[in-house]
Each structure stands twice: as structure tokens, then as C-alpha cells.
């Protein structure tokens, strides 16, 4: 399975840990994580600006996941799919990667439920589905 995590999940995972980090680790261990440059840049900008992370700290955190990351190119062509235009990049990344799942904490993305057969869910739901699949 290919998973796209929006920048809010990455930021929460790196800075706070908890459920978002657990979801990333499950995806890293069992699936592929896709990311595009726009999401990567938004993670970096948020951690460095809002949380004052140094470039070295960000790179070290991100490098932990790098072996399982699929980098995809996006071109900003997908527009109007989400009620918040800034979230269209997440959808475009997922489409370009052939993703099965988008993990997000963003209400605008979550309100879609799915997009082109790509399920959109919270980190908590992602973990619950993985636990259910592992138990069966």
C-alpha cells in the first residue's frame, strides 16, 4: 500500500510524537510513504518557522524515514478538488504516487472521505485499520 501523509501529520509526528508518529512508523514498516516537494517544503517551513527547528534537526528526523519514501513530482495542475486550495497539493501527490491512503488531520481533506478511490483518514483510523488487519 502507498500512503501519503499531509504536512500536519508529519509536523505533529516529528514535534509531538504520539499517534501521528505511530502511524508514520506503521507505514514505514509495512507500506510505502509517498511525498512531493511541496509537502516536504511545508513540513520544513513549519518546523523551522513555528517550532524553531534547525535544518540539521529537521534533516535528521526526516532521514529516519527516507529509505521507505517514494518521491513523486507534482506540477500544481490539480485545482478545485478540495474546498481549501492549499490542500490540492496533497491530493495531487496521492494521485501521482498511485496512493491508496491519505493520512491527514485537516478537516477540509477529511471531509472528502475519499478522492479517486484514495481513502482519506486520520492517523488514529489508519492505526486502527492496521491493527484490525494484523489481527486477522
For the residues 71-83, what does the mean pLDDT come to?
A: 75
**10 Å Cβ neighbour count for 116?**
9
**Distance of CA 37 to CAs 60, 91, 104, 114, Å?**
17, 13, 17, 22
Assign 71 a pLDDT band (cuts: 50, 70, 90): very high
- Are 92 and 99 within 8 A, CB to CB? no
2-135 is classed in which CATH architecture?
3-Layer(aba) Sandwich (3.40)
Per-residue pLDDT for 123 more than 90? Answer: yes
Residue 56 has a pLDDT of 95
Per-residue pLDDT for 19 more than 70? Answer: yes
Q: How many angstroms separate the CA atoms of 48 and 18, rounded?
A: 20
The whole-model pTM stands at 0.91
Of 19, 45, 33, which is closest to residue 126 (Cα–Cα)? 19
| SS3 (DSSP) at 25 | helix
- Are 108 and 70 within 8 A, CB to CB? no
The single residue listed with the C-alpha cell 517514494 is: 70
Q: How far is CA 79 from the centre of its chain?
A: 19
Per-residue pLDDT for 41 more than 70? Answer: yes
Amino acid at each position: 500500500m502507498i500512503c501519503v501523509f499531509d504536512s500536519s501529520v508529519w509536523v505533529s509526528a516529528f514535534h509531538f510524537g504520539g499517534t501521528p508518529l505511530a502511524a508514520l512508523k506503521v507505514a514505514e514498516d509495512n507500506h510505502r510513504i509517498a511525498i512531493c516537494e511541496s509537502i516536504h517544503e511545508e513540513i520544513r517551513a513549519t518546523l523551522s518557522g513555528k517550532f524553531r527547528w534547525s535544518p540539521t534537526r529537521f534533516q535528521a528526523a526526516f532521514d529516519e524515514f527516507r529509505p521507505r519514501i517514494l518521491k513523486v513530482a507534482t506540477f500544481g495542475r490539480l485545482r478545485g478538488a478540495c474546498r481549501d486550495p492549499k490542500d490540492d497539493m496533497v491530493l495531487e501527490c496521492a494521485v501521482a504516487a498511485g496512493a491508496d491512503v491519505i493520512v491527514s488531520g485537516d478537516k477540509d481533506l477529511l471531509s472528502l472521505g475519499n478522492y479517486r478511490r484514495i481513502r482519506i483518514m486520520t492517523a488514529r483510523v489508519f492505526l486502527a485499520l492496521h491493527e484490525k488487519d494484523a489481527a486477522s
